[in-house]
Amino acid sequence: MANDIKELVSKLHPLERKIMPLLRQSSVFSELVKKSGLKDIEVMRALQWLQSKEVLKIKEDVKEAITLGENGKKALEKGLPEKLFLESIKHKPRHMDDIEKETGLSRQEVNACIGLLKGKAAININAQRVISITNQGAAVLEKEGLEEALLKRISSEEMDIEAGKLKDEERFAFESLKKRKDMLKTVLKKEWHIILSSIGKKLVTMNLGSEKVIERLTPAMLKAGSWKNKEFRAYELKAKVPRVYRGKRHFVNQAISQAKKIWLEMGFKEMTGEMVQTSFWNFDALFTAQDHPVRDMQDTFFIKSPEKGKLPDKKLVDAVKHAHEDGWTTGSTGWQYEWKEEEAKKNVLRTHTTVLSARTLARLKKEELPAKFFAVGRCFRNETLDWCHLFEFNQTEGIVIDKDANFRHLLGYLKQFFKKMGYEKARFRPGYFPYTEFSVEIDIYHPVHKKWVELGGAGIFRPEVVKPLLRVDVPVLAWGPGFDRIILEFFKINDIRELYKNDLKQLREIKEWMR
């Protein structure tokens, strides 16, 4: 134990050495500040350091202190409004207008006094609003009330009066005065009390010799030799210090950056575009029929203002229109319905990043082929929130336009992407989408929920999509899995809603994307 205390003393900071002897005399923080001549923050810092070394404990006490408000001070000087009221009718009855003029009370205060004094049977009031004092009122006027006594006590006491320590009759007066405007003020005040541990009790009895301890060795001390016969403060290597959290990107954005890096390394170019799109690009250009359930209000967020947007050039619109109605020149029979321009003009929050693929295909020139593009972007669907569904989410998109591309290439690209994102195995099963054939659904297995989680779809764009947009019939590999679900396992998040809850503790402590 002796060696432990000696080692502890050797590491004490000058602030700690100054505060420790004062703890023999006082255990109250405010008194330590006065006696030490240090600033509040310096005393508190020293106490916290000592607490981390188990020398003492800091106990916080919070009290509700009562002080007089402006009306309380005025009442203490001139009297409570109800006493002024009774004084004005002490010798003869008066009309309430005359009482208001004589006392200087406002009409609101006069009305409040009438209600209060009637409740105490201290006054009578007739139909003409003439008010007279009763015997009970005369007794009230002569006797000091509980409210007056409390105001006087608050004014005369040197120390703050605590609301929690009032006597029963004072508590009644306190609650009554609190209801009146600016009679009393309550302020929460904190005080800290120091409780010494067994080590602390021994330490306060010791001579810490702060004048002999050197904090810093300077050239002047070396030259003068003043460092001789003095002690150097030892380094405290085990001190508990607050963890410092550096600024960093949101962990979802870190993962998005990694996904973009993967696609770029695989030779893809990035596609970008607006989140608000017309139904033409979001649905029609992707061969989604205008009566398809996905275009209903319960699935899609439609924009109220502006409700509609502009369509592209007429040649492209006509090609898409005929692809829907009769298949155009694709060899298909289309959807066999009357396609409407007004329906295609409706603005929506994009439901998928595949809209970017459609717009990219429409801009491409034949001499730019073959080509590969990707996107990672925000999408919106009118979904019910649960552990694996959001109404606002990220999706990663990709297309490969190449006359030699085939279904095996599609699966190869996806397997390579998922492998680099940390998933050695992914499941591909047959699926259906209006704009791809062949089509597959992409799943990954969730280890906590013990089930396969659907990420999205992939396939080869149908000619009804490619030919109107690109003007040639060429294989286009396409995919669009949900990105947020892909990153859940890495961050050990079991509920997709936790990705965007903006919990400060989570944002500080969650690991960084390191794959």
Rg (CA), the chain: 40
Instruction: Report the distance separating Cα 331 and Cα 319, nearest Å.
Output: 13
Task: Identify the domain containing residue 217 by its residue range.
Answer: 2-55+197-232
- Does one domain contain both 497 and 395? yes
In the sheet that holds 123-125, the strands lie side by side as: 94-95, 130-133, 123-125
- Asked whether residue 514 is domain-assigned, the answer is no
User: How far, CA to CA in Å, does 74 sit from each of 149, 218, 424, 471?
Assistant: 15, 62, 80, 89
Who's near 30: CB < 8 A, 6+ residues apart? 191
Whether residue 224 is contained in a domain is answered as yes
In terms of domains, do 307 and 431 share one?
A: yes
For residue 174, the model assigns a pLDDT of 83
CB 417 within 8 A of CB 263: yes
319 shares its domain with 352: yes
For residue 242, being part of any structural domain is answered with no
**326 within domain boundaries:** yes
Do 339 and 403 lie in a common domain?
yes
Residue 432: how many CB atoms within 10 A of its CB?
11
Residue 120 sits in the same domain as residue 227: no
Query: What is the DSSP secondary-structure string of 132-176?
Result: EE-HHHHHHHHSPPHHHHHHHHHHH-SSPEEGGG--HHHHHHHHH
For residue 3, what pLDDT is reported? 61
DSSP codes joined into one string, 45-85: HHHHHHHHTTSEEEEEEEEEEEEE-HHHHHHHHH--HHHHH
Same domain, 260 and 120: no
Same-domain status, 77 and 167: yes
* Residues 6+ positions from 255 with CB-CB distance below 8 Å: 483, 486, 487, 490, 513
The SS3 of residue 237 is coil
Say what the pLDDT of residue 332 is: 93
Same domain, residue pair 277 and 403? yes
Distance in angstroms (rounded) separating the CA atoms of residues 189 and 401: 71
**218 located within any domain:** yes
Domain at 163, CATH number: 1.10.10.10
Q: For residue 447, what pLDDT is reported?
A: 67
pLDDT at 166: 82
Residue 110 has a pLDDT of 85
In this structure, are 177 and 210 located in the same domain?
A: no
- Dihedral of the alpha carbons of 353, 354, 356, 361, in degrees to the nearest 10: 170
Which residue spans within 209-332 are E strands per DSSP? 213-214, 231-232, 269-270, 276-278
CATH number of the domain encompassing residue 477: 3.30.930.10
Are 421 and 481 members of one domain?
yes
Q: Is residue 352 part of a domain?
A: yes
Q: Which residues of the chain have pLDDT under 50?
A: none
| Residue 475: inside a domain | yes
Sign of CA dihedral 382, 387, 393, 396: negative
Q: What is the pLDDT of residue 41?
A: 94
> What's the confidence (pLDDT) of residue 35?
92
Q: Which two tokens stand for residue 110?
A: 């006069």
Q: What total number of domains does the chain contain?
A: 3
Per DSSP, the three-state class of 495 is coil
pLDDT for 131 equals 87
**Rounded Cα distance, 256 and 247, in Å:** 18
Specify whether 82 is located in the same domain as 228: no
The answer on 91 and 47 residing in a single domain is no
Residue 60 lies in a domain: no
**Apex 293 CA angle, 289 and 299, nearest 5:** 120
Query: What is this structure's pTM?
Result: 0.60
**Whole-angstrom distance, CA of residue 166 vs CA of residue 146:** 12
What is each CA distance from 440 to 11, 428, 480, in whole angstroms? Answer: 67, 6, 11
Nearest to 398 by CA among 383, 415, 382, 423: 415
Query: Of 150, 155, 152, 181, which is closest to residue 165 (Cα–Cα)?
Result: 150
